[in-house]
Amino acid sequence: MRPHGHPLLALAEAAGGHLVQGDGSLHVEHLVLDSRKPLPAEGALFFAIRSARHDGHQHLRDLYTRGVRAFVVQDPAPLLGTDAQVVVVQDSVDALQRMAAWHRAHFHTPVVGITGSNGKTVVKEWLYQILRETTHMVRSPGSWNSQVGVPLSVWNMDATHALGVFEAGISRPGEMERLRTIILPTLGIFTNIGPAHAENFSDDHAKAREKLLLFTSCEALVYCRDHAAVHAAVQEAHLAQRVKLCDWSREGSAWLHVTREDHDRDGAQLTVLHDHRESVFRVPFADAASVENALHGIALLLHLGHDPEWIAGRLLHLGPVAMRLEMVDGVHGSTLINDAYSNDTASLAIALDHLNAIAGERPRVVVLSDILESGEEAAQLYGRVGRLLKRARVDRLIGIGPQLAAHASSLPPGSFHSSAEAMLAEVDAESLREAAVLVKGARTFGLERVVAQWQEKVHGTVLEIDLEAVRHNLDHYRAQVRPGVQLMAMVKAFGYGGGAVELARLFAHHRVHYLGVAYADEGVALRQAGIRLPVMVMNPEPVPWSTLQRFNLEPVVYNERSLREAMAHTRDHAEAPPVHLKIDTGMHRLGFTPDEVPHLVNTLRDAHHLRAASIFSHLAASEAPEHDAFTREQIVQFSAAAEALCAVLPERPLLHLANSAAVKRFPEAQFNMVRLGIGLHGIGADATETALLRPAATLRSPIAQLRTVQPGESVSYGRRHRVATPQRIATLPIGYADGLPRKLGNGHGRMWVQGQAAPFVGSICMDMCMIDVTGINCREGDDAVLFDPAHPVTEVAHDLGTIAYEVLTAISPRVKRVHVHH
């Protein structure tokens, strides 16, 4: 068994599969699901998983070429080579789960299983922070709690671990029993029940009953009996007859009774009664969710026999759990990935995967601190770190701490420094030019100072783009299209305000087929950033064909002039990029009208030197039911024009008409490619579809100053706001030069501070604005939010009498873009 691996033959038998090629002697150390990620040098087993969106079988030959020699497939694999070893199963995900369950059964280590609607990852990470000095633990990396995340997490378990802590998340009935057999928890924590995945359960009680199945064979269960649905499920299951219930409550007697709770801005003090003994615990977080998470951890630690005073001492050192990676623009054209608050091999592997996804052909630099309190022998630990870095093709390592320097021979080339301050003094930021830089370190090393010094200097207002939300929305549309239909992602207008280059990298990583931009300059910027996907340039600005050819940008041909220019250039340049033929079916903006199509057909009949990549048109009102008859007429006109053109073209091109709204509303308009725009940012055709998407953008600005303005005084230019009663006014560094419309001033519109509405006061200034925070508990430095997932951009658009497109694209480039990956 690991760390030397399991024989493939044994794994095949555990999964009920059939070894159809090879002798099964290969020892498997790594389970691989994603063909896009860097691969281990040896011992990898690839699972070809088929879903509505992807089919791993398409990548078998490429993976074999890259060195993978063991495969789990649902279909007989193509001939890959005599040294390949292939296992055929009915279902690859089921095989993955069976293999992980078989692996788990080799160990008798105590294992904590955590489930619930919220708080799973925080509870897990806080247990790690508390126990890491005394206990060698294995835990779920990040939030790996799904049907594939759990088996991958449990596979990391080996005989050296004294404790396992794994999350389990479900979205529909029937899933938890599969996860239970993989985790086999001996101890359990049920955090809470919330609205997540409510669409697949009749009510919270049904959801709680399904989640509780994780704990049917546990020795002890921690939960809050004040959560009615959870407590009722525990009672109905009669768990107390076979499981020790370590319940806690604020409202009444329990195994752990919270008798007093005092809060201040810096945290909460909890007085609890357990086993006839009163204890006091200080938690360095004041919000209700953090206090609940801490109480779950306290209850588990007490059950494990830890002394209350020891627990109290460890709680004081709890740090925030980094639930995401942040990407910001760095100096000299670099991109910084900020993961400066934790460091262990599991989270390092996740961060390196993200570096791989965004780096492209750019140099890869990792700033890494020593890994503290891992419980692992140093040579073995840093040997594993070196293998992770080399697998990720890291070009340069900047190490901070004595342990990395001591094990430099196991690591990629680079430099080693005693501290973050020393490194900043010794490393020239110019050497990072155009690089993708991961900053990863334990909190005690203070690597956030590295990010602060190396990021491009901008003011504090931030537009945050949740890349995981964009990916979720992309997958939503991918599931709506027919098999074989390609996807074009629109990244025009600075990626709808969200940063075209970072979004393009995301789309490339997730195998979108085409990108669309408005102007050639936008396409040039993508090419200069290393984006290789095909790019269609949609708008009519005259651009020299030499520029289009140099950067391999594909222009739109929409009238007689652009057709003549394309034909003249392509006649003399065989390597010229293809064109996209635009038909005007009723938008009346650009394109050949139906009356002009016969002439276009005749012109193209013998123009075999002109390559057409696609034929397309624009729907004028696909989101509006009152115009559905017009939309259907557009579809008919486009189909007729496209077929007439296809009849004379030497090769049949792509046909695309559907935008985000039409994908679901008009499936007949999908043809063989669809163009996705605003839907990728979380705005659907209607409220029903929008509820299935995730808003991707958050615009926030920090409070720069607070003051109390007295009656009779005025606020902002023109003295349009007169104070009637004392008002507490907050000034924010965001104004109309940042894209905040002046129409929002003087009580029209609001920001959100601590979850409460704070109306705009006075006129919006060029660089600042003022809001009324009277009665809101806030201080300088706190964020005010214009829009976020809880207060979507569509609400701001409604206040302005416009559309979300305008609000997003109006945000100035001087506003800092931060791209986060959960």
User: Catalytic residue at 492?
Assistant: yes
Structure tokens at 442: 């334990």
d(CA 168, CA 229): 18
Comparing C-alpha atoms, which of 599, 577, 585 is closest to residue 645?
599
- Beta-carbon contacts of 79 under 8 Å, excluding residues fewer than 6 positions away, are none
CB 655 within 8 A of CB 673: yes
Longest Cα–Cα distance in the chain: 94
User: Catalytic residue at 717?
Assistant: yes
Q: How many residues does the chain have?
A: 822
d(CA 520, CA 540): 10
Structure tokens at 258: 């919270």
Q: What's the CA angle centered on 566, arms 564 and 570, to 5 degrees? A: 120
Q: Which residues of 439-462 are buried (b: 16+ CB within 10 A; e: fewer)?
A: bbbbbebebebbbeebbeeeebbb
- Reduced to 3 states (helix: H, G, I; strand: E, B; else coil), residue 673 is strand
The DSSP code for 669 is G
d(CA 820, CA 822): 7
- Of the residues 492, 496, 514, 558, only one is catalytic, namely 492
* Alpha helices (H) in 400-447, listed in sequence order: 402-406, 420-426
- Reduced to 3 states (helix: H, G, I; strand: E, B; else coil), residue 309 is helix
**Exposed/middle/buried for 82, CB within 10 Å: 0-12, 13-18, 19+?**
exposed
Q: What's at 397, amino acid-wise?
A: L
- Beta-carbon contacts of 680 under 8 Å, excluding residues fewer than 6 positions away, are 470, 473, 474, 477, 489, 490, 496, 503, 660, 696
Backbone CA torsion sign across 100, 101, 102, 106: positive
d(CA 773, CA 473): 35
d(CA 343, CA 348): 6
- Reduced to 3 states (helix: H, G, I; strand: E, B; else coil), residue 641 is helix
Beta bridge partners of 508: none
CB 336 within 8 A of CB 327: yes
User: Could you report how far apart the first and last alpha carbons of the chain are, in Å?
Assistant: 32
- List the strands of the sheet with 30-32, edge to edge: 18-21, 85-88, 70-73, 44-47, 30-32
- Beta-carbon contacts of 304 under 8 Å, excluding residues fewer than 6 positions away, are none
Identify the H or E element spanning 259: strand 256-264
Phi, psi of 261 (to 5 degrees): -145, 115
By DSSP bridging, strand 727-732 and strand 721-722 are: unpaired
Structure tokens at 144: 């790996």
Hey, which residues are catalytic here?
492, 717
